[in-house]
Chain A
Amino acid sequence: MGLVSPDPFPWNNSHAPLVTDWIQIMSNAYRLVQWNKHKKVYDLTLIAFLLVYLTSFVGIGMLLFPSPEEISLPILLIRAFGTCSIILLHVILAIGPLARISSKFNPLLYNRRHLGVIFFFVALTHALLVFMFYGGFGVENPISAVLIGSYRSGGIPYEYFGFVSLLIFGVMAATSHDFWLKNLSPSFWKSMHMSVYIAYAFVIAHVVFGVIQSEKNLLYPVMISSGVVLIASLHLITGLREFRRDFRFKMSSTQSPWVEVCTVDEIEPNRAKIVQIDTNERIAIFKDGCTLSAISNVCAHQNGPLGEGKIVDGCVTCPWHGYQYNASNGQSPPPFTEKIPTYEIRIEGNRVMINPNANEPGTPVKPAEFNPIFNAKPSEYDG
């Protein structure tokens, strides 16, 4: 069983980082940078896109409004960075549900943290420019000038919505290193994930009570509301799809804990079927050769959906970041130390039975063997 090296491009590790990479590939050591070819291409493409957006925005703005009717350059920059960060935020929020709809989007998901950190710096630049030019050069420090000035001027203090969302995104960016993933509690992460949507709502309020009030063009309310509709419907669609896709089973009412969940031929080779028994955590049942194993559907790294992964070189491989586990014991192959819960499984005839009581993470469980002649669909072995 060959172990896929998590980083086949170690020659890049000595390279001085341009953009810091907070990713540590599985927990054998923390690294400053864990570049690989994909991430390099990802980051370079992202930066190229940002430059195209910002330069075309500022360039066209300067050509379109020539002096003396020009828009002041700082204001043009504030708008370029502000609108850019809103577009980035929508891309970030769309990637998650899109990847659930089609695994084809997974390459965008793989390096989403970089996207998040870069988004934060774009939004921060917008805020710093606002503090510098709207808050600076006056009788007060720039921060008070904008924040207190906002209240002083009455009306809805839309600056606060932006400020609070920036704080939330700041905490997210600052804690995007895997050290935090490991050392902060699951409840912290749960509230962090929720607060992204609170921050998103604040960003929308910031736009609705801010720029839309002075730019009377109807296009802006149309644009921002289509953004909201897009994000909301993507989340709704994935939620519904997952709800429909889930195979839910009731706990056994008899003394026996075993629950029949599917038949052997329902599972594709090297792939898994995801089942949920009552309201317990989802279980992924993997087919590896002539054996079936049941493990938790939740990756220990970032809660990726393991059951949407595949067996690669004998290991269950997470579709999000490629974390790997032995299906028979829920452990990452050495030197890695990740562990996930396993489940007792057995096959009766063609029927797959699961004991929904999870074992401690990393507990070895004997895979259930089946006879391919009797259990497989014709298509699997017709060659």
Chain B
Amino acid sequence: MDNSTSNPQNDEFYVGYLPIPKGYRKFINALLVTLFLWISAMSVIIVTTMRDPGYARWETGAAQQWTGTLVESPYPMLIPDDSTKPAIFVVSMGKLGAHERLAPFYDKHVTLSGYELNRDGRLLIELEDEESAIALESSVPTTRSQTPVHVDTIRLTGEIIDGKCYLGAMKPGDGVGHRSCAVLCIRGGLPPMFAAETPDGSKIYYLLMIDGSTNYSEESLGLVGRRVSLTAKHSTLLGLPILDSSNSQITLHEN
């Protein structure tokens, strides 16, 4: 009469192993519809607001061939015979460099078989695992100049990334989430690169040597995948921009 809780209609009680009372069923159905709409909304909102990893291709399918001269320094690269093309990094499959496999072929004319990774025209060849991936054409190198052209000393801000993931093997291949992977990649001999920020929001990619080497010390690895500012000697070699810095010239930004 005056107390609604003593009304038998409102005295429904839910027990899991008994049929669900009407009032509970109504409520749960409404709740499930709400939950459904909520999780669908969450899914759409999260996935549509993720940052765009940018243009980068990892060619798969049939292996491609490149002919040119292999050089060891500053990082194992192929200098294509076509003089309009820049030098191309050469690595193995997985998170491994190809230094040992390439060693007998430095300064020789070869044909490589593998897959191309490409971000904004910066190229990298992933060699096939077979021995036939490197074919000796001639022991005589081509004559394109191999001396780095020193440009100037510059100061840049950006992130140290690993060349393979960033050029297309993993997208996005930068940022905090990718940090431990980038460290693993660089330790495995992949090219350490610097993605420098520019005022218009685009990025310039350099090969980053620390103390003249792409084989990073433990201390240098601590800078990978983090936002840093650095002062470096800037040079170019066959269309490849190169930075040479040292740990003391690299400063971390917050976070």
Contact = CB atoms under 8 A, between A and B. Distances in A.
Interface in B1-52: 1-3, 5-6, 11, 13-18, 20, 23-24, 27-28, 31-32, 35-36, 39-40, 42-52
Interface residues of A, number: 84
Contacts, number: 219
A61 interface: yes
A8 B17 contact: yes
Interface in B171-186: 171-172, 174-185
A312 B18 CA distance: 11
Interface centre among A68, A79, A382 (most CB of B within 10 A): A68
B146 interface: no
B80 interface: no
B53 interface: yes
Interface stretch (A130-138, A177-185, A244-252): A130-138
Contact of B55 (A69, A105, A271, A310): A69
A75 B3 contact: no
Nearest to B54: A69
Contacts of B43: 52-53, 56-57, 60, 83
Interface stretch (A150-158, A256-264, A342-350): A150-158
A270 B10 CA distance: 13
B86 to A, nearest CB: 19
Contacts of A116: none
B222 interface: yes
Nearest to A65: B52
B179 A149 contact: yes
Contacts of A215: 50-51, 175
Contacts of A192: none
B56 interface: yes
A152 B221 contact: yes
Contacts of A38: 16-17, 20
Interface string A206-220: 000111011111011
Given A57-B43, A104-B24, A213-B255, A140 B52 contact: no
A53 B17 contact: no
A53 B180 contact: no
Interface centre among A5, A52, A65, A139 (most CB of B within 10 A): A139
Contacts of A60: 43-44, 47-48
Interface string B72-111: 0000000000000000000000111000000000000000
Contact of B57 (A68, A79, A108, A309): A68
Given A49-B35, A104-B24, A137 B95 contact: yes
A71 interface: yes
Interface string A18-62: 000000010000000000101100000100010011001100110
Contacts of B234: none
A322 interface: yes
B20 A149 contact: no
Contact of A379 (B6, B54, B174): B6
B121 to A, nearest CB: 13
Interface in A1-28: 4-9, 25
A7 B17 contact: yes
Interface of B: 1-3, 5-6, 11, 13-18, 20, 23-24, 27-28, 31-32, 35-36, 39-40, 42-57, 94-96, 168-172, 174-185, 187-188, 218, 221-226, 252, 255
17 contacts: A53-B43, A57-B46, A69-B171, A71-B50, A87-B42, A110-B14, A133-B181, A137-B94, A138-B96, A138-B184, A145-B184, A154-B222, A154-B223, A270-B11, A271-B11, A379-B2, A379-B3
